[in-house]
Amino acid sequence: AQSVTQLGSHVSVSEGALVLLRCNYSSSVPPYLFWYVQYPNQGLQLLLKYTSAATLVKGINGFEAEFKKSETSFHLTKPSAHMSDAAEYFCAVTLKAAGNKLTFGGGTRVLVKP
Amino acid sequence: DTEVTQTPKHLVMGMTNKKSLKCEQHMGHRAMYWYKQKAKKPPELMFVYSYEKLSINESVPSRFSPECPNSSLLNLHLHALQPEDSALYLCASSHPGLETQYFGPGTRLLVL
Protein backbone atom coordinates (compact mmCIF):
# COMPACT_ATOMS: atom_id res chain seq x y z
CA ALA A 1 0.00 0.00 0.00
CA GLN A 2 1.10 3.56 -0.62
CA SER A 3 0.93 6.41 1.85
CA VAL A 4 2.22 9.95 2.25
CA THR A 5 3.01 11.92 5.39
CA GLN A 6 3.47 15.67 5.42
CA LEU A 7 5.23 16.91 8.53
CA GLY A 8 3.67 20.10 9.81
CA SER A 9 0.10 21.06 9.03
CA HIS A 10 1.06 24.76 9.19
CA VAL A 11 4.26 26.55 8.24
CA SER A 12 4.89 30.26 8.75
CA VAL A 13 7.72 31.98 6.87
CA SER A 14 8.83 35.57 6.40
CA GLU A 15 8.77 37.07 2.94
CA GLY A 16 12.15 36.40 1.32
CA ALA A 17 12.96 33.45 3.58
CA LEU A 18 13.42 29.82 2.60
CA VAL A 19 10.28 27.72 2.24
CA LEU A 20 10.71 24.04 3.20
CA LEU A 21 7.77 21.65 3.15
CA ARG A 22 8.42 18.04 4.18
CA CYS A 23 6.95 14.96 2.57
CA ASN A 24 7.75 11.32 3.30
CA TYR A 25 6.26 8.41 1.44
CA SER A 26 5.80 4.74 2.15
CA SER A 27 6.10 2.38 -0.78
CA SER A 28 7.73 -0.96 -1.47
CA VAL A 29 8.25 -0.10 -5.14
CA PRO A 30 9.43 3.06 -6.90
CA PRO A 31 6.70 5.66 -6.67
CA TYR A 32 5.65 8.60 -8.77
CA LEU A 33 5.48 11.71 -6.57
CA PHE A 34 3.71 15.02 -7.03
CA TRP A 35 3.38 18.37 -5.31
CA TYR A 36 0.16 20.31 -5.82
CA VAL A 37 -0.80 23.78 -4.58
CA GLN A 38 -4.33 24.91 -3.75
CA TYR A 39 -5.18 28.58 -3.39
CA PRO A 40 -8.32 29.52 -1.44
CA ASN A 41 -11.55 28.49 -3.17
CA GLN A 42 -9.70 26.99 -6.12
CA GLY A 43 -8.77 23.57 -7.48
CA LEU A 44 -5.35 21.95 -7.30
CA GLN A 45 -2.50 23.11 -9.52
CA LEU A 46 0.50 20.92 -10.27
CA LEU A 47 3.79 22.38 -9.01
CA LEU A 48 6.09 19.54 -10.04
CA LYS A 49 6.39 15.77 -10.34
CA TYR A 50 8.98 13.02 -9.97
CA THR A 51 8.74 10.12 -12.38
CA SER A 52 12.03 8.24 -11.85
CA ALA A 53 14.18 10.46 -14.05
CA ALA A 54 16.27 13.21 -12.40
CA THR A 55 16.12 13.20 -8.62
CA LEU A 56 16.11 17.01 -8.43
CA VAL A 57 12.92 18.28 -9.98
CA LYS A 58 12.23 21.90 -10.85
CA GLY A 59 8.68 23.16 -10.97
CA ILE A 60 6.71 26.31 -11.50
CA ASN A 61 6.93 29.51 -9.44
CA GLY A 62 10.53 28.82 -8.35
CA PHE A 63 9.78 25.62 -6.45
CA GLU A 64 11.90 22.49 -6.58
CA ALA A 65 11.94 19.12 -4.85
CA GLU A 66 14.53 16.41 -4.35
CA PHE A 67 13.72 12.71 -4.35
CA LYS A 68 15.81 10.84 -1.77
CA LYS A 69 15.19 7.11 -1.90
CA SER A 70 17.31 6.37 1.18
CA GLU A 71 15.19 8.75 3.24
CA THR A 72 11.90 8.01 1.40
CA SER A 73 11.45 11.76 1.15
CA PHE A 74 10.38 14.31 -1.44
CA HIS A 75 10.69 17.67 0.29
CA LEU A 76 9.61 20.87 -1.47
CA THR A 77 11.71 24.03 -1.30
CA LYS A 78 11.73 27.58 -2.56
CA PRO A 79 14.73 29.83 -1.81
CA SER A 80 12.77 33.03 -1.28
CA ALA A 81 9.11 33.17 -0.21
CA HIS A 82 6.71 35.59 -1.82
CA MET A 83 3.38 36.74 -0.43
CA SER A 84 1.67 34.95 -3.33
CA ASP A 85 3.01 31.60 -2.03
CA ALA A 86 0.45 31.62 0.78
CA ALA A 87 -1.66 28.53 0.04
CA GLU A 88 -2.24 24.86 0.91
CA TYR A 89 0.34 22.43 -0.43
CA PHE A 90 -0.29 18.73 -0.97
CA CYS A 91 2.22 15.96 -1.59
CA ALA A 92 0.80 12.95 -3.44
CA VAL A 93 1.98 9.51 -4.54
CA THR A 94 0.90 6.93 -7.04
CA LEU A 95 2.25 3.51 -7.91
CA LYS A 96 2.12 1.40 -11.02
CA ALA A 97 0.20 -1.28 -9.12
CA ALA A 98 -2.36 1.27 -7.95
CA GLY A 99 -3.42 2.19 -11.46
CA ASN A 100 -4.66 5.75 -11.56
CA LYS A 101 -5.14 6.10 -7.81
CA LEU A 102 -3.47 9.19 -6.33
CA THR A 103 -2.96 9.24 -2.55
CA PHE A 104 -2.57 12.63 -0.88
CA GLY A 105 -0.79 13.70 2.26
CA GLY A 106 -2.67 15.72 4.86
CA GLY A 107 -1.55 19.05 3.42
CA THR A 108 0.56 21.93 4.74
CA ARG A 109 -0.83 25.45 4.95
CA VAL A 110 1.82 28.10 4.28
CA LEU A 111 1.49 31.55 5.80
CA VAL A 112 3.86 34.27 4.52
CA LYS A 113 4.56 37.19 6.84
CA PRO A 114 5.58 40.56 5.40
CA ASP B 1 -4.29 23.83 -22.90
CA THR B 2 -4.47 22.10 -19.52
CA GLU B 3 -7.93 23.26 -18.52
CA VAL B 4 -10.62 21.24 -16.83
CA THR B 5 -13.91 23.10 -16.43
CA GLN B 6 -16.63 22.39 -13.88
CA THR B 7 -20.18 23.66 -13.58
CA PRO B 8 -21.77 24.99 -11.53
CA LYS B 9 -19.25 26.78 -9.30
CA HIS B 10 -21.66 26.73 -6.37
CA LEU B 11 -24.72 24.61 -5.65
CA VAL B 12 -27.20 24.64 -2.80
CA MET B 13 -29.66 21.78 -2.62
CA GLY B 14 -32.16 20.27 -0.25
CA MET B 15 -32.03 16.67 0.88
CA THR B 16 -34.85 15.68 -1.48
CA ASN B 17 -33.46 17.39 -4.58
CA LYS B 18 -31.83 15.83 -7.63
CA LYS B 19 -28.95 17.75 -9.18
CA SER B 20 -25.93 17.07 -11.38
CA LEU B 21 -22.35 18.28 -11.45
CA LYS B 22 -20.60 18.55 -14.80
CA CYS B 23 -16.96 18.32 -15.79
CA GLU B 24 -15.39 18.81 -19.21
CA GLN B 25 -11.88 18.54 -20.65
CA HIS B 26 -10.52 18.86 -24.18
CA MET B 27 -6.98 17.58 -23.61
CA GLY B 28 -7.61 14.15 -25.11
CA HIS B 29 -7.36 12.52 -21.70
CA ARG B 30 -9.02 9.10 -21.38
CA ALA B 31 -9.07 8.95 -17.56
CA MET B 32 -11.36 11.15 -15.48
CA TYR B 33 -11.88 11.36 -11.72
CA TRP B 34 -14.22 12.67 -9.06
CA TYR B 35 -12.83 13.73 -5.70
CA LYS B 36 -14.54 15.04 -2.58
CA GLN B 37 -12.71 17.58 -0.41
CA LYS B 38 -13.88 18.64 3.04
CA ALA B 39 -12.57 21.84 4.59
CA LYS B 40 -8.93 21.69 5.70
CA LYS B 41 -8.57 18.11 4.38
CA PRO B 42 -6.93 16.58 1.30
CA PRO B 43 -9.05 15.43 -1.64
CA GLU B 44 -10.54 11.94 -1.31
CA LEU B 45 -10.97 9.84 -4.43
CA MET B 46 -14.55 8.85 -5.22
CA PHE B 47 -14.59 7.45 -8.77
CA VAL B 48 -12.23 6.79 -11.68
CA TYR B 49 -13.27 6.35 -15.29
CA SER B 50 -10.79 4.91 -17.76
CA TYR B 51 -11.73 4.85 -21.44
CA GLU B 52 -15.29 5.80 -20.46
CA LYS B 53 -15.66 2.78 -18.18
CA LEU B 54 -15.89 2.93 -14.41
CA SER B 55 -12.66 1.42 -13.11
CA ILE B 56 -12.60 2.49 -9.45
CA ASN B 57 -15.47 3.15 -7.04
CA GLU B 58 -14.15 3.91 -3.57
CA SER B 59 -17.23 2.50 -1.83
CA VAL B 60 -19.17 5.69 -2.43
CA PRO B 61 -22.85 5.71 -1.30
CA SER B 62 -25.36 5.14 -4.08
CA ARG B 63 -26.81 8.62 -3.65
CA PHE B 64 -23.80 9.65 -5.78
CA SER B 65 -24.06 8.31 -9.33
CA PRO B 66 -21.26 8.99 -11.84
CA GLU B 67 -21.66 9.00 -15.59
CA CYS B 68 -19.17 9.35 -18.43
CA PRO B 69 -21.17 10.00 -21.64
CA ASN B 70 -18.05 10.46 -23.78
CA SER B 71 -14.31 10.91 -23.48
CA SER B 72 -14.60 14.66 -22.75
CA LEU B 73 -17.46 14.74 -20.26
CA LEU B 74 -17.98 13.48 -16.74
CA ASN B 75 -21.12 13.94 -14.68
CA LEU B 76 -21.93 13.31 -11.05
CA HIS B 77 -25.63 12.85 -10.35
CA LEU B 78 -26.76 13.68 -6.83
CA HIS B 79 -29.93 12.46 -5.14
CA ALA B 80 -31.15 12.43 -1.54
CA LEU B 81 -27.91 13.85 -0.20
CA GLN B 82 -27.18 14.44 3.47
CA PRO B 83 -25.81 17.62 5.07
CA GLU B 84 -22.49 15.82 5.67
CA ASP B 85 -22.11 15.57 1.88
CA SER B 86 -21.48 19.32 1.78
CA ALA B 87 -17.97 19.74 0.38
CA LEU B 88 -15.89 20.88 -2.59
CA TYR B 89 -16.23 18.37 -5.43
CA LEU B 90 -13.22 18.27 -7.72
CA CYS B 91 -12.96 16.75 -11.16
CA ALA B 92 -9.62 15.76 -12.67
CA SER B 93 -8.39 14.19 -15.88
CA SER B 94 -5.23 12.52 -17.12
CA HIS B 95 -3.86 10.11 -19.66
CA PRO B 96 -4.42 6.60 -18.32
CA GLY B 97 -1.60 5.22 -16.17
CA LEU B 98 0.92 7.06 -14.05
CA GLU B 99 0.28 10.42 -15.58
CA THR B 100 -0.29 13.84 -14.09
CA GLN B 101 -3.85 14.56 -13.05
CA TYR B 102 -5.14 18.01 -13.95
CA PHE B 103 -7.81 19.41 -11.67
CA GLY B 104 -10.77 21.64 -12.31
CA PRO B 105 -11.73 24.54 -10.00
CA GLY B 106 -14.37 22.48 -8.23
CA THR B 107 -18.04 22.80 -7.36
CA ARG B 108 -18.79 23.92 -3.82
CA LEU B 109 -21.88 22.02 -2.69
CA LEU B 110 -24.05 22.88 0.30
CA VAL B 111 -26.77 20.43 1.33
CA LEU B 112 -29.47 21.87 3.56
Report pLDDT digits (tens) over B48-68. Answer: 999 999 998 999 999 999 999
* Chain A residues in contact with B55 (beta carbon < 8 A): 99-100
Burial of B79 (0-12, 13-18, 19+ CB in 10 A): middle
Q: For residue range A18-62, what is the model confidence (pLDDT) as tens digits?
A: 999 999 998 877 788 999 999 988 899 999 999 877 889 999 999
What local confidence, expressed as pLDDT, does residue A54 receive? 84
Q: How many beta carbons lie within 10 A of that of residue A45, not counting itself? A: 16
What local confidence, expressed as pLDDT, does residue B74 receive? 98
Phi and psi at residue A36, in whole multiples of 5°?
A: -120, 155
Most confident of A34-48, A92-106, B87-101: A34-48
Question: Chain B: residue nearest A44 by CA?
Answer: B103
Alpha-carbon distance of A67 to A53, in angstroms, equals 10
**B69 contact A CB<8A:** no
The average confidence (pLDDT) of chain A is 91
Is there a contact between A104 and B42 if contact means CB atoms under 8 Å apart? yes
Residue A100, pLDDT > 80, answer no
Is there a contact between A99 and B48 if contact means CB atoms under 8 Å apart? yes
**pLDDT band at residue A104, thresholds of 50, 70 and 90?**
very high
- Given A41, A90, A100, which is nearest B42 (Cβ)? A90
Question: Chain B: residue nearest A104 by CA?
Answer: B42
Question: Chain B: residue nearest A99 by CA?
Answer: B97
Closest CA to B5 of B107, B108, B94, B87: B107
B-facing residues of A in 25-64 (CB < 8 A) are: 32, 34, 36, 41-46, 49, 51
For residues A90-99, average pLDDT: 80
Mention every residue, 6+ apart, whose C-beta is less than 8 A from residue B91. Answer: B4, B6, B21, B23, B32, B33, B34, B35, B74, B103, B104, B106
B60 touches B45 (CB < 8 A)? no
